[in-house]
Structure 1
Amino acid sequence: MNKVGQNDSSHAGLEAAIIGHSPAIRQLREMIRRVARSNASVMLCGPSGSGKELVARAIHDEGARAGQAFSAINCGAIPADLIESELFGHEKGSFTGATARRIGHFEASEGGTLFLDEIGDMRFDMQVKLLRVLEDRTIVRVGSSEARRVDVRVISATHQDLGAAITKGKFREDLFFRLGVVVLQVPSLADRVEDIPALIRHFQSRMPADAKCRFDEAAMTLLMRHDWPGNVRELRNFVERASVLHGGETLGPDDVALLLNPTAPRPVAPAQQANDDLPLHPVAKTPAPGRPIDLKREIETIELEQIHVALDLADGIISEAARLLTLKRTTLIEKMRKYGVQQQAA
């Protein structure tokens, strides 16, 4: 009885982590259960924003390493000259700025799982060093000659066509086979649109009641017809944007169309007028007589929208999003903290 109960609890936990009941998601959950039983390296393939890190965490949580560390690193978001130190650590004084010894992600993940996101962005010379670590199960900190054994399961992810990268000589074929003992495809949101209502409920479950929106039938139909180029990440941002602008309201297709394209010009509608002599005012732009607006909130709303759009376009890479917004990277990070915007790789 205990064993059955444990399996039921495990399956319930996996369904809570990987939301949806579409055929694509049911198949993905079954594959997660299978690969979690082993320590084989797994490569997750799928478009940006599809939830690859969530899948990696689910594999970790379903397996024997669940009680150990799970560490994630985005290979495309770390400067090329720092990636070796991030992975393997360094000794004090090993390079300019190395003021103290640092433990790398491999050592920090001892006994657990290391998730290497956007592995296709790793420079070629680092691919050689990573292959050696996977084969020997030992790492050497930068500035040291001492080899240290590590027991770490590696899960990697990419949105790139690594087959094409191998043909062009940009990715090592032997590393691909070492990382992809098992290759899992993570479906795009467009391939599982029937999961959108469940995903919306999931995102809204973290919100206060007065921030939750409702969508009428036509609005939900429009959401399920949208192509979702940013995948689940785009849907999550859409739900957050809707809660900021329309908390507690029931939205129709026109509202949804505007929320799906936040950079499009807003239509100008007549203000509620006491008589025909009052001028027209753009909605939420210019205060109508007797109807003040919260300018600070309007500015913050626009700023938050543009941050979400830039992060979507930049596939979650902060430095690229900052470039699109013509901001310093540190400034964008401060604004993300201010608005509670979380950086997620998937």
Structure 2
Amino acid sequence: MEAPSAAPRRLLVVDPCDHCRRILPHLEEAGWSVSSQSLDQALAASYDIGLLRLRSEHLERPEGVKHLISRSGTEWIALIDPVGEPADGIEEFIGEWFFDALILPVDLPRLQGLLGRAFGIARLRGIGNRRGDQHELLGQSRPLRDLRKQLARLGPSEKPVLICGESGSGKELVARTLHRMSRRVAGPFVSFSCGVLPDGETANLLFGHQGKLASANGGTLFLDAIHELPSGSQERLLTCLRGKSLHYADGEVLPLDVRVLASARDELAELVEQGRFHPGLYQWLEQHRLVITPLRKRQGDIALLAGYFVDLYSLEAGRRPSHFSEEALAAMARHRWPGNVRELASRVRRGYALAQNGPIEADDLGLKSAPVDGALLGTLEDYKRRAEYQALCDALAHYSSNLSLAAKVLGVSRPTFYRLLHKHQLL
């Protein structure tokens, strides 16, 4: 066993069971600095890798787990109780949010190896994040091109923007891009998740002397999941925005110069009709709306993004670039991507770590590898259309920066290539 380094790798174990606690000393002997926390306490912890015992209550109310992992900026491994029938949706949940999962009781050498790989990929992820998040806005599909045009138009504006999209689609990235395009780029960008804490703590963090509104003064405040903001805070926020001032309980008044961006579910208007969201605040936010198209409706961008991620991880690891097998590409095309680009990045990181020096297979990505079978049967025209579409997607994935070369490789003229891209709504 390797001797522990001078700076031990930090492991956070959330909601551990008795078996989990028994293996912690062995992990410490292997060089990990281990701490244990409940899910509620984990948000304030510092660590390099997370280990979560996935319980039934986590699956019944997954928002806490999702918030913890999305804010952690690192990789997580799930430990699962050996039950008979797996809970509905557990495989999709793990695939979207976790680096990998193990059944309890775990094989200790296997867990140590998995933790080591997750730690390596987490370091790559940190390097990648420092290089910028623009990858999530990469794409040649028509929805991505339209989104970039809208960002260029709305970025310089001072008006609020309501950003709608599914989990993992990049709502905060869009907000950060709007901030970078505005005159407030030199000011702070402050992000606040509205649905995590109790009402009193939410109000204090948002409206206090050192709260998010005050911290964002002169810059941009991004309110994530604003549909979950408590009703009392909704009304007070609207008062602050209309009056351009923040009134503290001690009588002090702070003039506000803040641009507010917010994300919400698409059904925010329904919440207004149900009396669960303030109509005035809704009207204030609805001055401009951006809708992020889910990844499953941007088929032409999947291979492009996957190739970008695997090239990034290969570059940072100093290894030769990996590639996807035909089965892996087909599996990615079939997958519904409930976690959108965040899930794609997570699965590619996992696949890159597991594939070592060989091609990345569907199993490495945590996706089912199944041959094209009768489920896809159709007319000859259907096959021709699918083949044409796939050829265009592959060309975009390999030559997105040089469309003339992509057309040449496919053996068509550039005008024909553009016509086909428009026909399949890839441009």
Place the TM-score, normalised by the shorter chain, in its bin. 0.5 to 0.7
Residue of 301, 312, 321 corresponding to 1:195: 301
Counterpart for residue 121 of structure 1 = 228
Q: How much does 1:107 deviate?
A: 1.4
Structure 1: 4+ residue segments shifted above 6 A: none
> What percent identity do the matched residue pairs reach?
34
Counterpart for residue 167 of structure 1 = 273
**SS of aligned partner of 2:184:** coil
Gaps of 5+ in 1: 1-12, 91-102, 262-346
Q: Does 1:82 align with 2:201?
A: yes
AA in 2 matched with 1:115: F
In 2: Cα distance, 1:254 partner to 1:14 partner: 27
| 1:1-20: CA deviation from partner (whole Å, max 9, x where unpaired) | xxxxxxxxxxxx99656221
In 1: Cα distance, 2:326 partner to 2:151 partner: 33
CA contact (8 A) 2:157 2:182 kept: yes
Residue of 218, 229, 232 corresponding to 1:111: 218
Counterpart for residue 260 of structure 1 = 367
Alignment of 1:65-80 (within 5 A): 65-80=184-199
Counterpart for residue 59 of structure 1 = 178
CA contact (8 A) 2:327 2:362 kept: yes
CA contact (8 A) 1:210 1:247 kept: no
Residue of 115, 130, 136 corresponding to 2:237: 130
TM-score by length of 1: 0.63
AA in 2 matched with 1:112: G
Counterpart for residue 380 of structure 2 = none
Q: Does 1:146 align with 2:252?
A: yes
Counterpart for residue 179 of structure 1 = 285
Counterpart for residue 48 of structure 2 = none
| 1:176-196: CA deviation from partner (whole Å, max 9, x where unpaired) | 110121011011111112112
Counterpart for residue 37 of structure 1 = 156
TM-score by length of 2: 0.52
CA contact (8 A) 2:168 2:342 kept: yes
Q: How much does 1:131 deviate?
A: 0.7
Alpha-carbon RMSD: 2.2
Q: 1:16 to 1:215 in 2, by over 3 A?
A: closer
Higher RCO (C-alpha 8 Å, min separation 6): 1
**SS of aligned partner of 1:28:** helix
CA contact (8 A) 1:119 1:158 kept: yes
Q: How much does 1:212 deviate?
A: 5.9
Q: How much does 1:232 deviate?
A: 1.2
**SS of aligned partner of 2:200:** coil
CA contact (8 A) 1:214 1:248 kept: no
| 1:131-165: CA deviation from partner (whole Å, max 9, x where unpaired) | 10110111123x42211111010000012511111
Q: 1:201 to 1:140 in 2, by over 3 A?
A: farther
AA in 2 matched with 1:39: E
Alignment of 1:309-328 (within 5 A): none
